Amino acid sequence: MPELPEVETIRRGLEPILIGQQVMGVVVLNEKSFHGSNNDILQFINGAIIKDVRRRAKVLIIDLSTDYSLVIHLKMTGQIVVRGANSWAGGHPNESFVEDLPNKSTRIYFILSAGTKLFFNDQRKFGWIKLIPTIAINELDFISKLGPEPLIGRPIKEFLRRIRRRNNTTIKAAILDQSVVAGIGNIYADEALWISKIHPLTRVRDLSDGQLRSILKGAIEAMTKSIESGGSTMQNYVKADGSRGNYLDLFANVFRREGQPCPRCGTNIEKIRVAGRGTHICPRCQQLLDISN
């Protein structure tokens, strides 16, 4: 899915378009994608004004004037597309960015004032939208367990404290764990480990605090660069000549680059499997020091 930088890019794109708009109606095309009762839709969505668009970890939060919020998780293949006076799209990049909507991947859409429609598309149906009272968000199990936001404040001390609870697992599994640090997914895990020259199979207990610090700094560097390059939006999906672009080219050094030379040393990037996920490494820059594996 969209990871922290992609969700933040969506938030920044939606904020100026959505704030102040009124929600006129909701169409739920796949029941499992929407968590909330029909009665709540009538009572707390229809007619509500959008007050704010926020993000926590990989979750997008749309606050309504009814003191209810839409909590949106895009998981692997979710995307948000706005059509109308201001068209915009972000999230999992595919042809639904530009196709007529709703289409076969549209799960929910919202009809807004001024003829705007907001589509929630999700090919694999893992994503969801919850309608809950705004004050109940922080009590959601998933939210309350989250680790620190990597791009806000000084997350390092809390990150170190939490990752030491994962001493017996691999560093890749540990940084993918949202209760260790919020927002890192498969792309930024691989990029962070390449930047810090750590092999993803290294056990956490075999890493010093200094090495763990450099991994978090690597993740922050990769995520910051991704947000600055504009994320996976319609703008960098469709190129000027009509062909399809790949926003990973703008910041990724190893992710989906197997067979290509490492930008640092020229050795071919390899793809392996770690923590059940496809994992990209430079076998020369990231050697596994086999102490206790």
- Which residues of this chain interact with DNA, rule CB under 7 A? 1-3, 6, 32, 57-58, 73, 75-76, 91-93, 104-105, 123-126, 141-142, 165-170, 173, 176, 178, 185-187, 231-232, 247-248, 256, 273, 276-278
> Based on CB atoms, which residue is closest to DNA, 51 or 225?
225
Measure the CA–CA gap between 94 and 155, rounded to whole angstroms: 33
Query: Minimum distance from CB of 45 to DNA (Å)?
Result: 23
Residues in the chain: 293
Query: Minimum distance from CB of 66 to DNA (Å)?
Result: 25
> Based on CB atoms, which residue is closest to DNA, 157 or 165?
165
> Based on CB atoms, which residue is closest to DNA, 115 or 157?
157
> Based on CB atoms, which residue is closest to DNA, 155 or 185?
185
Query: Residue 33 gets which letter from DSSP?
Result: G
Q: Catalytic one among 2, 5, 155, 200? A: 2
Active site residue 264: no
96 token code pair: 């639904």
Active site residue 2: yes
> Based on CB atoms, which residue is closest to DNA, 117 or 166?
166
Q: Catalytic one among 54, 197, 213, 277? A: 277
Measure the CA–CA gap between 142 and 9, rounded to whole angstroms: 22
Query: Minimum distance from CB of 170 to DNA (Å)?
Result: 6
Per the CB < 8 A criterion, the answer to whether 265 and 284 are in contact is yes
Residue with tokens 């939208």, as numbered in its chain: 129
> Based on CB atoms, which residue is closest to DNA, 48 or 147?
147
Query: Minimum distance from CB of 40 to DNA (Å)?
Result: 21
Query: Minimum distance from CB of 175 to DNA (Å)?
Result: 11
Per the CB < 8 A criterion, the answer to whether 185 and 3 are in contact is yes
Q: Which residues of 125-164 are buried (b: 16+ CB within 10 A; e: fewer)?
A: eebbbbbbebeebeeeeebeebbbbbbeeebbeebeebbe
Active site residue 130: no
Q: Catalytic one among 55, 58, 117, 257? A: 58
Listed in sequence order, the DSSP H helices in the chain are 4-18, 38-40, 141-144, 156-163, 171-176, 186-195, 209-228, 234-237
Query: Minimum distance from CB of 253 to DNA (Å)?
Result: 15
Measure the CA–CA gap between 63 and 283, rounded to whole angstroms: 46
Measure the CA–CA gap between 19 and 125, rounded to whole angstroms: 27
Supply the angle between the helices 156-163 and 209-228 in degrees, to the nearest 10.
120
Q: Which sequence positions are flagged as catalytic?
A: 2-3, 58, 277
